Chain A
């Protein structure tokens, strides 16, 4: 997995690409270390560059969401496609996340 972070005063956009799997714990640790902002600041995970995500990757997105909530940041996902969209459907992610497309 690769990631890129774009920050504006209103929102932090995290663009993930490649394959997000159990071997990406370390990188994800760096991603969540950047979670900061005033109450209501938007954390947007853009998944459009992701080709594959596994259950550990889904778990990391849940962790990210919960950490955002604890810090009173808003959190959403967008842009999942193909295999990533499929596994999110199997895991019923639409019930757990705000998904904007």
Chain B
């Protein structure tokens, strides 16, 4: 497979050059409106404001790359993303404040991959899986919502602590998409400890204040597959009749 190009917004030039050399990707010094076919984009600031103008262009992937980024980790992510038709990768901390599912759906809609009739289902199901990857995967929150103001407060504090913690808050969240004329598959990959026992898809109508995310995703998707020891969840949506 031909190597993709590498472009960057706000990333120091020497850092991008080192990554490009290391991966054997040709790099683009200046970002033009229209990227060459098959180009990955590194972003110093992974915010909605930074993503909006570039998301409509057909980049292959969008990867957070701050000046102090772990180069080995960024290089590894770039290498794995070459296998997908679309990708996005960011830190847990960034994913927590970014509406990643909505942005991925915007990108797939502008590429005419996601039919408008399917969008609400894909966005909600993907959002649920991203939330699980952040909260239960990378931040390893086993504690659940509690029906008590004090315990709920403790949950909030622990969550904030882990978000600002290293390495938990800096673990990667990766979202990929692949498609044919018949289906779209979106995957979410985290770097948590995973799980060996497949979680029972909790019925969505239980009275508990937690645990219905996977159930909602399962209701909306044509199929849900969990792999990589629980660190990768793939949703398939059939598009033929959509």
Contact = CB atoms under 8 A, between A and B. Distances in A.
Interface of A: 19, 21-23, 25-26, 28-29, 32-33, 35, 52, 54-56, 58-60, 62-63, 66-67, 70, 83, 86-87, 90-92, 95-96
B147 A63 contact: yes
B99 interface: yes
Contacts of B205: 91-92, 95-96
Interface of B: 96-97, 99, 120, 123-124, 127-128, 131, 134-135, 145-149, 152-153, 155-156, 159-160, 204-205, 207-210, 212-213, 216, 219-220
Contacts of A26: 156, 160
B131 A22 contact: yes
25 contacts: A21-B127, A22-B134, A23-B96, A25-B152, A25-B155, A26-B160, A28-B152, A29-B149, A29-B152, A32-B149, A54-B124, A54-B131, A55-B131, A56-B131, A56-B213, A58-B209, A59-B145, A59-B208, A62-B209, A63-B147, A66-B209, A83-B124, A86-B120, A90-B204, A92-B205
Contacts, number: 84
A81 to B, nearest CB: 13
A54 B213 contact: yes
A91 B145 contact: no
Contacts of B152: 25, 28-29, 32, 63
